[in-house]
Structure 1
Amino acid sequence: MKNYIAVDIGASSGRLVQARLQQGQLELCELHRFPNAFSDKNGRNYWDVDYLYREIIAGLQKAKSKGIEECYLGIDTWAVDYVLLDHAGHQLEDVYAYRDARTTGAPDRFHKMISREEVYAKTGIQELTFNTLYQLFVHDRAQLRQADKIVLIPDYLYYRLSGRLMNEATNASTTQMLNLGTREFDLELLELLELRRDQFAELTEPGQALGSIWPELVKQYDLPECELIVVATHDTASAVAGVPVQRDRSWAYISSGTWSLLGTELTQPLNNKAAMEANYTNEWGVYGTYRFLKNIMGLWMIQEVRRECGEQYSFSQLAQLAAAEVPFRSLVPCNDSRFLHPSSMTAEIQNCCKETQQPVPQTVGEIARCIFDSLALTYLDALHELERLQGEAVEVLHIVGGGSNNELLCQLTADVLGITVQAGPTESTALGNVAVQMISSGEIDGIAEARELIGRSFPASVYQPRPLADLDQVRQRWEELSCHFSS
């Protein structure tokens, strides 16, 4: 029996998950979980990537203690953040976190050299202030010249385990620096950043075998013998690979976690002017696909509210409190930059409601209700844009990831969007990670079989749309507020 281990690390936590195929069913077992967060240092925000490496080692030690002698292993994390390595393979600098404010205003300055339209035509990637393109643009030039290699975080973790350098393609596409036509780093953009192509490792597609973990690590820490498989190292790319789609229905997905990523899967990029104006992105997916999606602020907002409450409420309790409140009483623009990293999420929501002359939410339940209502309406806008851009109506929406456990938000989304919502699996990212490993190992034939296996092993919860009183008036008020927010 083959053992697979998915290393799945997000912005707030990470874990190692074991997967095995038994009697036609895929079984998961969490081996190790650990917290993750960026820290403040001299007014800047940084990740501790070597801490992540140490936690992977700790998780593999637990795997060995549970009797796992051999395994395949794949790593996924969040996107855009990078590590600078010197000629000896050591870090040159602490790793900046994408929520750091250093890129404020960077897109406007960068696009004085090349237009937004040109960059989108080249890359198909939506403009987000924290994209790697803008992070590198504001990075210290002298330090960049010292860098022998620039790798994204999961690439660095693979390197620490194996000594092999690469830039995995699904994650590299999020840098806003890959050319859709050449399927390589865009040389003009590199020149504008005063960077060289040889400062980036070879682009590597998901499914490639990377070889074994360092024998020295296995011996020193008493680890399993691990065969490293390059998976879709961007966690959203893995999450989409893990969506149990039905091939005979038009579908879209929301990968719901710290971010909500709403989109669909295409075989060709859609990087026309309309897609650019809607701020849709064409991130690369597994096996020649594109993740045509839009970033929505997501559960970050409720995560921050929970943190500010001293974590005295579980996420389930916050949803229950929200369900008891008056719906659509107060609404906020989830994607406004003011909610990216405010000093207080609760205060920022209250200030926004006050500015727009809405009832100001006071209790935790009212704040939570405001967030969930606003997210559902933001999903509605994004879905309408998606249908318009692809010229096809969506029949079913898959919500995967941690947010699929939020029954209130799932039902609210079905009601507001007026379509069937299939929620689950929660572990879609780990499952997509494992799916690529299983295909690479030869245990299953391809992504269609993997998705069918996932759907069979982890049945979804189905939410049918219900009539909502005064929904037309709510949508009209939302449109009016949206015009105010964008003015």
Structure 2
Amino acid sequence: DVRRALLFAGHDYSTGVQDCACRTDCVVRNISPLGPRRTGSTCRLAWAGLDSRRASAPSAQRGRVGSKRRASRGHGSVPVANRIRFADPPNGFGIPPTGRIVGIPNRFCIVSVPAFPAVCPDCRSPAPRPPTTECILTYLAVDLGADSGRVMAGRLTDRGLQLSEVHRFPNVPVSVHGTLHWNILGIWHEIQEGLRKAAGLGEPVQGLGLDTWGCDFGLLDAQDRLLGNPVHYRDARTNGILEEAFRIQARDEIFACTGIQFIPLNTLYQLLALKRLSPQDLQMAASLLMIPDLLNFWLTGVKAAEFSIATTTQCFDPSTMDWSGELLAAFELPESLFQPIVHPGYTLGPLLPDLAAAVGLPAVPVTVPACHDTGSAVAAVPSSDPNAVWISSGTWSIMGVTVPDAVLHAKALAGNFTNEGGVERTFRFCKNIMGLWLIQECRRTWMRAGETYSYAELGAMVQANTRSPSIVDPDHEVFLAPGDMPLRLQTYCRASGQPVPETKQAILSCIVDSLALKYRWVLTRLEDALDRQLGTIHVVGGGSQHSALNQATADATGRPVVAGPAEATATGNILIQAVANGAMDSFGQMGTVSAESVSLEGFEPATASGQRAEWDASYQKLEQLVAHPVSIGA
């Protein structure tokens, strides 16, 4: 009944509503443990849109998250708070009669007042406004990027998903004796601190999901002890490793087994370097866990390999949807190191009891989203168009389309495309581009010199500047490692015979134009590999807030660009959890909910012939730079 539903939320809203002049019993005020009294006239029920004769919503009217359906009641139209699935048909108040959601034992509710007629239709007196509940389901997303980490709270309601940052911390690699490591124990400490802060919110937490960057891993011994700090994918140990790998197995054979692009930072090549430099570590190892799998193991005590992150290893076979025994045997890597595959939406189990007690949370279920952050970001793309192109724009720009099966033909190999796992066993046919790493490293270099700028200030510099006369290939190897990025950009331009950008504005403009042109380069090859024309470009992630880059992307590619959501990874992470625990019906609803939850910004391509000619000329320059890489001395 109504009182039970309201009290279920931990609040008593059963008093304080005044009777109107016709003295009908107030259905909200006069509540007994057995339910509301409906003696006397049905006036109050009718004008409030809560006619007792029509108190149960037909099953066909029961909406789901992502639906805009409204149920009409009597003289008013009451927004029924049931786009989150209820265990029983809602009563006339849009409140689940038992105060229970299918498969979800707890939730947080607030009471809001919907729009009702201003006066009672029977007596014309001012109408009291009975409350209705809005169910809020709170989820936590641990989102770890190469630059920073965060714990986010996501509140799912019938109006969409609202995100708030609970805790943020820098993620800074540490160099020890020339090897670049992740500070994994520092990251683990910060995750626990974020969970403590989340517990302090006082909201029942429905679930927890964790995502990170790809390719990096930790090794555990037979007692599940970590064998050293994981090495950073930008460490120099994999320099020149591809040639060594191709002597073991041919390039086309590796691609046929894995469908993954050839970049030195892939797990396969890190393991090959480890065998050469520190074979004893592999000999001592009993388990290999990718970074999100390692952290999930520390959260739950369960070892598993989530699908999307497993594909980044270049050890996974998309044809069998399991680890490639053939490839592992060729590289003499023990298959026993690798864990069973689970897919996005799989619940590993609750937080370990001692951890839950330490952070002040109950036994919150831990569900794997797409643990590769790009996979979760793509899950939040606000489009269901199969021809939509997406760019997950952050430290890396990852550009591609979603396909039902891995694309393994010769054009995909020639274009060095990759097939990374997504939700519902789909694949992201895509390509990595260096991305905002170039701007991030410029910013760090200037900060070391005592000049501090926010990313918004850096973006404004580009918007105030004209087109760049100089173009670089963002994926040239000189830009891969941390260091003095402004100097490297200037060195590249000088070596390629172009004007050297001297000011910060000129350097940033060079980066933005170069990225936009590289997006065009990838788009051209995507269309060729898929043999179809692609449409609108959706930019998601933090880079979607860079208006100058979005406009340059539209101008360079000649395609409309839609920017947002900026918090795509956390959004996708949380919506996957919501599907897993029954608050949403299907993964197919995630794009709709994502679109309803944020404001999207559109950018149209330049149409003036002069502007198009300038971009075309710059693109031809980029084509030459990619085809004939610039030689830069040590």
TM range (shorter): over 0.9
Tell me the residue number matched to 2:569: 429
- Describe the SS at the equivalent of 1:283: strand
Between 184-193 and 159-168, the greater mean CA deviation after superposition: 184-193
**Which has the higher mean CA deviation after the structures are superposed, 461-470 or 155-164?**
461-470
Q: 1:385-443 CA distances to partner (integer Å, 9 max, x unpaired)?
A: 11111111122000000000000000110111111100000000001101110000101
- Say if 2:378 and 2:572, in contact at 8 Å, map to a contact too: yes
Number of the residue aligned with 1:356: 496
In structure 1, the residue matched to 2:398 is: 261
The answer for the alignment partner of 1:371 in structure 2 is 511
1:38 and 2:173 are equivalent in the alignment: yes
1:203 aligns with 2:375: no
- Counterpart code for 2:619: R
1:279 is matched with: 416
| Partners of 1:63 and 1:224 within 8 A in 2 | no
Contact 1:25 1:457 in 2 (8 A): yes
Note the C-alpha offset of 1:201.
1.4
Question: In the alignment, residue 213 of structure 2 is paired with which amino acid?
Answer: W
Q: Which residue of 2 aligns with 1:187?
A: 325
Within-5 A mapping of 1:68-467: 68-139=203-274, 140-247=278-385, 250-310=387-447, 312-467=452-607
Take 2:246 and 2:497, find their aligned partners in 1: how far apart are those partners?
36
**Per-residue Cα deviation, 1:292-350 (whole angstroms, up to 9, x for no partner):** 00000000000000111116111121122122333131111101111001531111100
- Name the CA distance, whole Å, in 1 between partners of 2:616 and 2:345: 47
Whether the aligned pair in 2 keeps the contact of 1:60 and 1:224 (CA below 8 Å) is no
SS at match of 2:248: coil
Higher mean C-alpha displacement, 338-347 vs 90-99 = 338-347
- One-letter amino acid of the counterpart of residue 125, structure 1: I
* CA distance in 1: counterparts of 2:573 and 2:535, whole angstroms: 26
**Counterpart selection for 2:188 from 48, 53, 56:** 53
Distance 1:355 1:324 in 2: 27
1:478 aligns with 2:616: no
- Native 8 Å contact 1:71 1:225 kept in 2: no
* Cα distance, 1:486 vs structure 2: 6.7
- Could you say which residue in structure 2 is the equivalent of 1:26? 161
How far, CA to CA, are the matches of 2:546 and 2:273 in structure 1?
38
How far apart are 1:224 and its partner, in Å?
Answer: 4.1
The letter of the residue matching 1:430 is A
Q: Aligned pair in 2 of structure 1 residues 200, 476: CA closer, same or farther (>3 Å)?
A: closer
User: Which blocks of at least 5 consecutive residues in structure 1 are unaligned?
Assistant: none
Partners of 1:324 and 1:209 in 2: how far apart? 48
CA contact (8 A) 1:70 1:225 kept: no
Q: Deviations over 1:142-195 (max 9, x none)?
A: 210210100000001111111111111110111000112221111122223332
Instruction: Tell whether the 8 Å contact from 2:471 to 2:493 is kept in structure 1 after alignment.
Output: yes
Question: Contact 2:441 / 2:482 at 8 angstroms: preserved in 1?
Answer: no
Aligned length: 486
Q: CA RMSD in A?
A: 1.4
Distance 1:215 1:455 in 2: 37
Identify the range of structure 1 (467-476 vs 130-139) with the bigger mean alpha-carbon deviation. 467-476
Deviation at 1:219, TM superposition (A): 1.8
Write the letter of the residue equivalent to 2:269: Y
Moved more, 398-407 or 59-68: 59-68
CA positional deviation for 1:126? 0.2
For the Cα contact (< 8 Å) 1:13–1:35, is it kept in 2?
Answer: yes
Change beyond 3 A, Cα 1:147–1:413:
same
Matches of 1:405 and 1:378, distance apart in 2: 19
Is the Cα contact below 8 Å between 2:387 and 2:401 reproduced in 1? no
Rounded Cα–Cα distance in structure 2 between residues aligned with 1:41 and 1:256? 30
Q: Secondary structure at the match of 1:309?
A: helix
TM-score, normalised via structure 1 length: 0.97
Q: Shift of the alpha carbon at 1:291?
A: 0.4
The structural deviation recorded for 1:461 is 0.4
Measured in 1, the distance between the counterparts of 2:464 and 2:258 equals 45
Hey, what's the Cα distance between the residues in 2 that align with 1:262 and 1:398?
10
Instruction: Give the partner amino acid of 1:48.
Output: N
Seq. identity, %: 39
Closer, same or farther in 2 for the Cα pair 1:466/1:224, shift >3 Å? farther
SS in 1 for 2:628: helix
Cα distance between partner residues in 2 of 1:477 and 1:161: 50
Partner Cα distance (1:233, 1:244) in 2: 20
Tell me the residue number matched to 1:67.
Answer: 202
Conserved 8 A contact 1:159-1:165: yes
Structure 2 CA distance for partners of 1:486 and 1:352, relative to 1, 3 Å: closer
Q: CA deviation at 1:4?
A: 0.7
Contact 1:342-1:348 at 8 Å conserved across structures: no
Q: Distance in 2 between matches of 1:475 and 1:336?
A: 16
In 2, Cα distance between equivalents of 1:460 and 1:390: 28
Superposition misfits of 4+ residues, deviation over 4 angstroms = none
What amino acid maps onto 1:78 in structure 2? W
Greater Rg, structure 1 or structure 2? Answer: 2
User: How many Å separate the matches in 2 of 1:230 and 1:198?
Assistant: 22
Q: Distance in 1 between matches of 2:502 and 2:518?
A: 22
